[in-house]
Amino acid sequence: MTTARNSWRVTMAKVLMAFGMFNAARRVDQSLAPSVAIEEEAQHFVLRVVQPGLAGLMDGSVSTLAPIFATAFATRHPFTAFLVGMASATGAGISMAFAEGLSDDGKLTGRGNPIVRGIITGLMTFLGGALHTLPFLIPDLHVALYAAYVVVAVELLVISAIRHRFFGTSWGLSMVQVIGSGALVFVAALIFGNA
């Protein structure tokens, strides 16, 4: 019974470590002493997974706001905004995947495999753009807009939380920076959507 419990703890600790939760992994499996190897693994996780994922999520969540909302305001057709949003999310995802994958080979910076980083960045960019596009499947424009506002707010909170958790950015500063960038893009959407 003790062996099975220890095996479960080791497995759970490995899963937590794969997601960058090194302190939680140590709490589950006390045999994981703080070590240079674990700290290096944490740093590699941030450089190779979190940073490219966060860059993609930020780009997808913010850069696609203007075309989606401008289309919704200009046409008053939610499904048209949905199509523009999915096209924007797809294009941004492809663009960011190549930008990250071709930016460096990982040897100079230690940021790992460029293909893996590109895939992570591209997928997170697409996800960031697609999430606030989905509400435009709702036929009523006003309901779709309010649902999209809620999704955007959640996205920006998640981005702030990731910056706080992995990069030590204070909550207040992170919220001001992330929400400020989203607000600037939303103003652009209002200007072009009502032109």
pLDDT in tens, 77-98: 999 999 999 999 999 999 999 9
Q: Evaluate if pTM is beyond 0.85.
A: no
167 vs 121: CA distance, rounded Å: 17
CB under 8 Å to 36, separation ≥6 — which residues?
none
| Residue 31: strand, helix, or coil | coil
The answer to whether 25 and 32 have CB atoms below 8 angstroms apart is yes
Residues 97-114, buried b or exposed e (16+ Cβ, 10 A)? Answer: bebbbeeeebeeeebbeb
> What mean pLDDT do residues 113-134 have?
94
Please give the share of the chain, as a percent, with pLDDT higher than 90.
42
Cα distances (Å, whole numbers) of residue 141 to 96, 116, 129, 135, 145: 30, 38, 18, 9, 6
> What mean pLDDT do residues 174-188 have?
83
Burial of 5 (0-12, 13-18, 19+ CB in 10 A): exposed
CB under 8 Å to 2, separation ≥6 — which residues?
none
Query: Which one-letter amino acid corresponds to residue 92?
Result: A
User: DSSP class of residue 172?
Assistant: H
**pLDDT tens digits along 30-47:** 666 555 466 677 777 888
More confident residue, 180 or 2: 180
Instruction: Quote the crossing angle between the two packed helices 141-167 and 65-75, to the nearest 10°.
Output: 170
More confident residue, 2 or 44: 44
Asked whether the predicted pLDDT for residue 157 surpasses 70, the reply is: yes
Q: Output phi, psi for 132, to 5 deg.
A: -85, 5
> What mean pLDDT do residues 130-143 have?
96
Tallying the residues shown for the chain, one arrives at 195
Q: What is the pLDDT of the chain when averaged over all its residues?
A: 84
Indicate the pLDDT class of residue 167, thresholds 50, 70 and 90.
Answer: confident
175 vs 171: CA distance, rounded Å: 6
